[in-house]
């Protein structure tokens, strides 16, 4: 099986990342765009770009028919879904298969099985992978869920069977608040996934979140590419990721990676995926429990690439074309430490309210050990229609302390003006004593909200950097107005040049 032309069913930084990998692999790349993204950077990064619909995602990036038709119209032979949107949609994967398109990811059947939290738990348990004690109530009424919670014992976590990303999830600490929280979880599950089925797990208070990157091919080979620590989260959405996890001893790491490979093998997994675990306790006696399988490339995949030196997207192409994995387990090694910060257009001091508007100043830092994956450019506009992720900053160095120092230095010289961002918040987060000493857990941001969310002016370093870069400095006093001139920047005027 071979293909020469890949349609990228996504937008933003991940679409640019995939287009770059296509170029390096000698493949033609086709971008898709909505009306809101007509001039977006990802349309210039690909060899061709095709309109798929109106600005709302439901009419464009979530429209299976529109994307399959775009692939047919451009004679694409393969589709890469990226992450988010339709990337874990079994119906989309099946539609691609029916249309004769290679879906660059696991099969529709695997996506469907792993998309059900209940089915995934049952499969993992049968494969000997540790799971959090839990129960799926036969009686799915609110009263039935409440009864099951009482039998399991409070505190419990009620979760949507069909979902992920924290949607349809509530922590219930006592019977008095249970009924209201169960009803809220069900409403959110129905709104997000169209399925109100709930299940219950024992609530592990303040665990760490550690995931293992796995990769399988159609020849029966499955490997792991070590772990990523993702404990710094807000409302179950990751903010900072790093590898190796400072919480794992070598014996625990060996057990966890072995369990991840067993999980992938039990699922019949092919292509890139992630097995997520909750970690409880510390030292060699720490216990971990299966959480879920992400049947796609992760947002934080640059951490693994920086640590191991592999190209996960190129490997996805190879495996999707029917080839063998480009590496064996002994050939996958790691060096040093890597940490990634997600940079969002949001206002942390204002409840993390998403921001939209023109990017008057946007200048990415550079230097040894730094990688920036971004989907925006200076003078562009951040849309109200999509996720507010602007960029991912990944810093790699010989040690954890050095990687954090490198990330901090880069954040402090990353001027972004015109809209509010979480850069000052990320700086405070990385400077926090408990973060520096790796005393973190999944409720870290919530527990330290007063320290982390205190309003602070734009870092002096960012203002100084903005003032030193010429015409753009004229926009500093205002958060609105015309975008800065790009006449002195030849790269800004060349369409089709990947950046």
- Is 476 domain-assigned? no
- Is 309 domain-assigned? yes
Residues 142 and 257 in one domain: no
Residues 413 and 434 in one domain: yes
CATH code where residue 88 lies: 3.40.50.20
| pTM, rounded to two decimals | 0.86
| CB neighbour burial string for 291-302, b if at least 16 within 10 angstroms, e if fewer | bbbbbbbbbbbb
Token readout for 454 is: 């205190």
Residues 10 and 34 in one domain: yes
| Matching residue, tokens 């609110």 | 142
Last residue of a domain, one of 157, 174, 202: 202
Token readout for 227 is: 């772990």
Residues 185 and 225 in one domain: no
For residue 181, which of 194, 198, 206, 193 has the smallest C-alpha distance? 198
CATH code where residue 373 lies: 3.30.470.20
Range of the domain at 89: 5-104
Is 296 annotated as catalytic? yes
Residues 21 and 166 in one domain: no
Residues 228 and 149 in one domain: no
DSSP assignments along 238-295, one per residue: EEEEEES-TT--HHHHHHHHHHHHHHHHHHT--EEEEEEEEEES-GGG-EEEEEEEE-
- Is 124 domain-assigned? no
CATH code where residue 177 lies: 3.30.1490.20
For residue 214, which of 166, 179, 160, 266 has the smallest C-alpha distance? 266
CA 407 from chain centre, in angstroms, equals 19
Residues 178 and 270 in one domain: no
Residue 215 near residue 273 (C-beta atoms within 8 A): yes
Helix (H) or strand (E) holding 237, with range, is: strand 237-243
Residue 231 near residue 209 (C-beta atoms within 8 A): yes
Residues 411 and 343 in one domain: yes
The 3-class SS string of 6-17 reads EEECCCHHHHHH
Domain count, the chain: 3
Last residue of a domain, one of 161, 179, 202: 202
| CB neighbour burial string for 151-161, b if at least 16 within 10 angstroms, e if fewer | ebebebbbbbb
- Is 15 domain-assigned? yes
pLDDT in tens, the chain (499 residues): 689 999 999 999 999 999 999 999 999 999 999 999 999 999 999 999 999 999 999 999 999 999 999 999 999 999 999 999 999 999 999 999 999 999 999 999 999 999 887 889 899 999 999 998 888 888 999 999 999 999 899 999 999 988 666 788 999 999 999 999 999 999 999 988 889 999 898 899 899 999 999 999 999 999 999 999 999 999 889 999 999 999 999 999 999 999 999 999 999 999 999 999 999 999 999 999 999 999 999 999 999 999 999 999 999 999 999 999 999 999 999 999 999 999 999 999 999 999 999 999 999 999 999 999 999 999 999 999 999 999 999 999 999 999 999 999 999 999 999 999 999 999 999 999 999 999 999 999 999 999 998 755 555 555 555 555 554 433 333 333 333 333 334 334 333 333 3
Taken in order 162, 168, 171, 175, the sign of the CA dihedral is negative
Q: Which of 17, 296, 342, 400 is catalytic?
A: 296
- Is 62 domain-assigned? yes
Last residue of a domain, one of 165, 185, 202: 202
Residue 376, burial from CB neighbour count under 10 angstroms (0-12, 13-18, 19+): buried
- Is 223 domain-assigned? yes
Angle between helices 423-431 and 400-411 (to 10 degrees): 150
- Is 485 domain-assigned? no
Residues 424 and 442 in one domain: yes
Residues 312 and 383 in one domain: yes
Residues 65 and 155 in one domain: no
Residue 8 near residue 19 (C-beta atoms within 8 A): yes
Residues 258 and 380 in one domain: yes
């Amino acid at each position: 099986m071979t293909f020469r032309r890949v349609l990228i069913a996504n937008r933003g930084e991940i679409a640019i990342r995939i287009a770059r990998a296509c170029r390096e692999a000698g493949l033609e790349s086709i971008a898709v765009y909505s009306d809101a993204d007509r001039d977006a950077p990802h349309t210039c990064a690909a060899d061709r770009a095709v309109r798929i619909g109106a600005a709302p995602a439901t009419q464009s990036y979530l429209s299976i028919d529109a994307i399959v038709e775009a692939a047919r119209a451009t004679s694409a032979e393969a589709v890469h879904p990226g992450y988010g949107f339709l990337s874990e949609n079994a119906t989309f994967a099946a539609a691609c298969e029916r249309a004769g398109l290679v879906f660059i990811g696991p099969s529709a059947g695997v996506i469907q099985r792993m998309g059900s939290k209940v089915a995934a738990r049952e499969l993992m348990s049968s494969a000997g992978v540790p799971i959090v004690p839990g129960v799926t109530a036969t009686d799915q009424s609110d009263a039935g869920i409440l009864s099951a919670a009482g039998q399991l014992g409070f505190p419990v976590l009620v979760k949507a069977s069909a979902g992920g990303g924290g949607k349809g999830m509530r922590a219930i600490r006592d019977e008095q608040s249970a009924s209201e929280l169960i009803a809220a979880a069900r409403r959110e599950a129905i709104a997000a996934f169209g399925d109100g089925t709930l299940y219950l797990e024992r609530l592990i208070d303040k665990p760490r979140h550690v995931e293992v990157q796995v990769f399988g091919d159609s020849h029966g080979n499955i490997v792991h590419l070590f772990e990523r620590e993702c404990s710094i989260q807000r409302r179950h959405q990751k903010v900072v990721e790093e590898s190796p996890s400072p919480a794992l001893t070598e014996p625990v790491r060996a057990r966890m990676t072995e369990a991840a490979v067993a999980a992938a093998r039990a699922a019949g997994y092919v292509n890139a995926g992630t097995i997520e675990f909750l970690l409880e306790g510390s030292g060699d006696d720490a216990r971990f429990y299966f959480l879920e399988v992400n049947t796609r490339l992760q947002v934080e995949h640059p951490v693994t690439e920086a640590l191991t030196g592999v190209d996960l997207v190129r490997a996805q192409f190879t495996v999707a074309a029917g080839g063998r994995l480009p590496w064996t387990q002994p050939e996958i090694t790691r060096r040093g430490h890597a940490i990634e910060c997600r940079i969002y257009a949001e206002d942390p001091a204002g409840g993390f309210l998403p921001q939209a508007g023109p990017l008057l100043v946007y200048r990415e830092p550079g230097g040894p050990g730094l990688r920036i994956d971004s989907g925006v450019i200076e003078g562009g506009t951040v849309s109200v229609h999509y996720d507010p992720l602007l960029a991912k900053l990944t810093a790699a160095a010989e040690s954890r302390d050095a990687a954090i120092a490198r990330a901090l230095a880069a954040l402090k010289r990353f001027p972004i003006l015109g809209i509010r961002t979480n850069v000052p918040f990320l700086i405070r987060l990385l400077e926090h004593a408990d973060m520096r000493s790796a005393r973190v857990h999944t409720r870290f941001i919530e527990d330290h909200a007063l320290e982390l969310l205190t309003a602070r002016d734009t870092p002096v370093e960012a203002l100084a950097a903005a003032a030193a870069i010429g015409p753009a400095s004229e926009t500093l006093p205002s958060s609105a107005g015309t975008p800065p001139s790009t006449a002195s920047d030849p790269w800004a005027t060349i369409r089709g040049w990947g950046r």
